[in-house]
């Protein structure tokens, strides 16, 4: 099966919005530090660019979760595949995700970090698909709200392809 990619969010729009998010996060954490936890693999491009735009002290760590198989729909069951290395106890945690679909992953991670006694837990996502939401999740920082289409690029993949696209595109099968 062959697919084509239609551009949804251009590279320049991504860069501008990431700068805005970085400024807002810096303001919200003024006088404090933030522990950025990037959810791999999809959020890697976004988290690295975002961290460069945050002016307060940043510690960055990575976590791998899974709720997708090789398809385009979340299975609903969230698993931690690789955990953070630095304890979150007493820290301001900012979970950085590529896309919020069902909300299951971020709802799960919020609970995990609260149980681990994080000082605060906030959520930042590059993309939000509210039409797909299955659980309520309070998202503190949203890059773009998008319709219910399967997207790739800027870290997001389709069967491990298209992560390297510098823009967000829609997969048309």
The residues assigned a catalytic role are 101
Helix (H, G, I), strand (E, B) or coil at 114: helix
Say which residue the tokens 């949203």 belong to: 142
Tokens in use for 163?
């992560």
C-alpha 117/C-alpha 154 separation (Å) is: 32
Start-to-end C-alpha separation, the chain: 8
DSSP 44-78: HHHHHHHHHH--S-EEEEEEEEEEE-SSSSEEEEE
CA distance readout (Å), 145 to 1, 93, 139, 158: 29, 23, 11, 20
């Amino acid at each position: 099966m062959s697919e084509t990619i239609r551009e949804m969010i251009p590279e320049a729009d991504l860069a501008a919005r990431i700068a805005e998010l970085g400024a807002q996060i810096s303001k919200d954490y003024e006088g404090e530090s933030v522990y950025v936890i990037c959810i791999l693999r999809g959020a890697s491009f976004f988290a690295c660019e975002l961290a460069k735009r945050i002016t307060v002290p940043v510690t960055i760590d990575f976590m791998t979760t899974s709720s997708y198989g090789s398809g385009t729909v979340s299975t609903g069951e969230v698993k931690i595949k690789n955990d953070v290395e630095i304890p979150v106890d007493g820290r301001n945690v900012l979970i950085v995700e590529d896309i919020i679909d069902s909300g299951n992953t971020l709802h799960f991670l919020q609970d995990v970090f609260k149980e681990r006694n994080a000082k605060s837990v906030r959520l930042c996502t590059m993309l939000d698909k509210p039409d797909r939401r299955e659980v309520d999740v309070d998202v503190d920082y949203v890059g773009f709200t998008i319709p219910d289409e399967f997207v790739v690029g800027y870290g997001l993949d389709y069967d491990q392809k298209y992560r390297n696209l510098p823009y967000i595109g829609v997969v048309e099968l």
